[in-house]
Structure 1
Amino acid sequence: MRSWLERLVINLTSSMKLRGKIVLFYGLVVFIPTVILGFGAGYLNVKNVRSNYMLTINEAVRQTTQNVEFRKQSYDLLVTRTGTDGELISRLAETYENMVDQLASVNYVNRSFQVTSRYLPGIVDFRIYHENPDLVEDGGLLWRPANRSLAGMNELSWYRSVMNSDFVSQWFSTPRSTNQLIVSRKITNANGYAFGAIYMLLDYNSAFGEVMNQPFNGMGSLFLLDENDNVVAASDRSMLGKPVELTPLSKVWPGVDHAENITDASEYFAVRHISGGWKVASLIQMKQLEEQSTRTVYSIIAITVVFLFISMFLVLIVMKNVVMRVRKLGVRMSNIADGDFGVSIQSENRDEVGELEIMFNQMTGKLGNLLEMLSSVKLKEKESSFRALQAQINPHFIYNSLSLLQWRASDQGDQYQVETIEALTTFYRFALNNTSNVTLIKHELEHVRAYLDIQMLRYPERVRVEWDIDEDVLEFYSIKLILQPIVENAYIHGRIFTRRDACIVIGIKRSNNEIHFSVKDNGVGMDPAMLSNIRNGEKTGSDNGFGLSNIRERLVLYFGNVGKMRIESTLEVGTTVTIELPVCKNKPHIQLEG
């Protein structure tokens, strides 16, 4: 499926130029999806904002209702506890014959209810009214109703209205001020008979001001309605004491029970019922929601437009940069086709086109080098032909001469000369065999043994040689002259024969599909500078024939990156040379250079 789709896209855009392909790709992959996602995100965000806003409003209404109900219940509980206190009722109904009993009742009232009246904040005045002619009026908590002023109203009229009311408990604001509320309650026994009334004057700000002032962050109105739908508390204090029909709730109030709706004026209206048949009504403006939704839509549109402009600007820059550089690359290729191999492109970018420019420069450099190499090879071919003529000395002449010398030394009984000449014969028979540059590993070992025999005759009993050879590697092939030059370096440069307990360890091991050659000596070693020069292929010291650089070059020539040589050396400790090459059951051949 993927391959089919790729072929389809390539076929459809094969006739288009690179600029058109980039524009088409931008439109299909960036522009159109961004517009669609922008509108979709705007719609979902507005919907989510509206949903979250409504949840927030409902939660605010719920918490506000709970707060108002808790405060009302706290004050109701106080007057209810006082109005149903059995001891208080019995003392108010008692007939007193002396002052001592009256003082006892006064002390009981002060002791029981003076502290109680201070439990809650905002209680300005707390009184217990009674009509018992035998019980005194102390002017503190115990009072008898009389024709006098009480919070802007007639005390006797207030008392009679409470006692004649069908309700046990009443809340209303004072006539003289909207900053105070009056809570009244009959003092009744279990049979409902009234013995007096409780008067509690509240500071409006302490009781409900914190809840009612600026509700919902100033975006709405809050009303506390009693069982008769009269306003007991409101965020607009001018509404206190008014029936609901004279408030802003009048348009949505008829027939309301437990309502939640949005008015024609884009206001959210909610009613919550609390204890005693009271209600908490909320009227919240939705203007903030509409403004927030509008800001969200405009923000998403602005972000989408800015993103599209920025992306279009960047695409134009990239398109101009890529197309221009591709065209420049085409011009340079035309120059190469005309035979100018000295051209190059200045690349300052690390992108794919930059990599192509770097590879182009590398290609032109290699082409130039190849031309120089071809010229050099032709010159070297002529020089090699001349040297080949000079080197056409029959190796059998050398072998016959050495055999003659060996025969004369044998006749004279000079065994030292016989062994020396025999070692030289073996050494040169291998070295002068120019028929092939590869050999079996066992022949390479015979050659290095012959060289060591010569050195042993030269430096008798000075150097110990240890061999660590796997027998199964002897029939594999290797390039010639990779061990003897390393051993020779141990004598010439490592001066192994001057060292105490001098030792050379020669090892050949097979590891999977590789053969590892190693020559380790405890000669004088090398300092870090010389070791670095040798590792980098730089020439140091005098030439000794087939040196380490020559071995490294021939390894690469025959085995590529698989042929490796590593050199480790420490001054006054010794040197270890390791060679790795693949297992070759057949003769390896020179590889073509990539």
Structure 2
Amino acid sequence: MPNKSTDENRFLRWLRQDWRKYHPENLPLHTQLITLFLLIGILPAILLGVMVNYTSDRIIERQVTDNTLQLIDKVNQTLDTYMEHMQSITYLISFDSGVVNFMNAALSNVATPDLNDDEHADSSLSGTSVYQLRQFLQGFTTVYPEIAGILIVNRNGEYISNELYARNPQQRLTRETWYREAVANKGLFTIVGHPSGRNVTSHTNYLDSEVISVARALYDPHTGNMRGVVLIDLKLRVIAQAAKDVRLGKTGYLMVTDAKGQPIYSPKGPFEQSVPARLASSLTSAQQDVFTSEMQGQQLQFVYTTSDYTGWKTVGVFRLSESVAESRTIRFYVVIFLFIVCFAGLTASYGLARSISQPIHRLSALMQKAEAGDMTARYMSSRRDEVGMLGRSFNRMIIEIRNLLRLNRRQERQKREAELRSLQAHIRPHFLYNTLDTIQWMARKKGAEDISQLVDSLSKLFRIGLSGGSDIITLHEEEQHIRSYLQIQQTRYRDRLHYTLDIPAHLQGVYVIKLLLQPLVENAIYHGIRARRGPGMITVRAEQQEEMLIYTVTDDGAGITEERLAELQQQLEHPLDTLGSRGPEPSGSYGLLNIQARIHLAYGTRYGLTLQRGEQGGAIVTVTQPLLRQFPPHTIRQEEDDNE
């Protein structure tokens, strides 16, 4: 059992992996597009062709059935007309005075009731009357050649006819089946059908299958007594002429059956022996119907309609394959149409898919070259669609990447130069510290406290500026550095310079980039306080806004012009480019640009320096950086790049 379970799991895993290859996401774009176009274009055409083929088959089949029913109705009308004529003849015969006299005559010689023989003519019915009756009946056969013979029988069994006679004169005709059927119908027109085993024949010796017999009982209109029966034999060729001229397809034909399905007329054909037996078991009492049956390995369709007058069923018989010959022609054209549509669809799908996928493949190859380091790759095309837009965006991206790489190399070069200058500035720093301590000790020994304080401030300034080579210090150390610098400058400018430092205690421990405030304060002194008349005030303030640390350096000096402010703001947008174009030596706005560049390199362009004019004169410089309560192992700029 474990082996069986393992095999099943292995098979299911293989099946999932095998089918996963054919998932649309794993197929080439060219294959996906062709498949999509085929589903959108060719599949509806195939479905339409199938629907057209199915609909045309149903329409043609219905039209064939309707046309067959119309032909059958016309044949039925013809047959009904013949039967109506026969019924009219029975009425004409019943109204004839000679026939009435014959019906009312009481012949003395009952044993020989054949009035066709003049020797046995009744005295009550002269030979002249018999001759006249024969001539009267002969007139009907002359006018209606479809009549094979007419026989009149009274209730005593005596008969008279122009063509028919009894085979056995001793056997009374009143015992015949057709006679009893006519009497049972009480004066209604009765269609007997093919005669079978009757005691009546004709001088022409028609076979029973060559005639159709009809009969009607004659009644006395005054007394209501039955007088006798009129029998008329109708030639079958009349029915044959009405039906044989109708052709259903190549081999189809019409046949006529009675109400029970027994054949009245059936032409000779390939299914002559099988059809009547099948019809006898399949015909129903419905007025009309259509059904299909298999005979001798072929599908035959039967369509029949029942005559309201005779009760006969006229049946159309034809091969089902012949009825759908036209539908096969339509199917052929539908197949040709589908072939053309499929061929055109495949060609169009392949061309359209190629026109879309090939530029994308070419663009993908260019991206792989760019990924390998080839920044000279360019997409060359005049397309105006989405693929062309994507190619032009790729070109702009490559140009931007090249610019960024060039900028990065320049930044790395500037960083190395700055590191070199920093290393040069750190040469023997302890010698400088010891020298300043010696000067401070000598000044105190001489009683020059002001010189001692000045040297102490200068020593702190250098010590914090060097800070062991670290670029990150606490805000408290930055405050000591700027305070020492201001004390030195206040010694120089005396009462012309006043300052205020507003650094909250809870921000003393946050980490900042060193030497950010000193260049700003220096600019405030040299370009603001020194240029004005009278004393000036410099305010340095630090505050927290959400997760940002904000410095503000404000002075009430001479201020800055609009033109100079616009120029500085433009330079501050791209500090590295401006520094690179001006060289490494400080001049003019180098301090502001240096601070802006250091902040951008450390924290990104989201932070930095902004410059504006004060409302009462002077200038306001604002610096923003992230709030760092722990010493950062790496710069924020590097972390942002990694996240991106």
**Alignment TM class, shorter chain as reference:** 0.3 to 0.5
Based on CA coordinates, which of the two structures has the bigger radius of gyration? Answer: 2
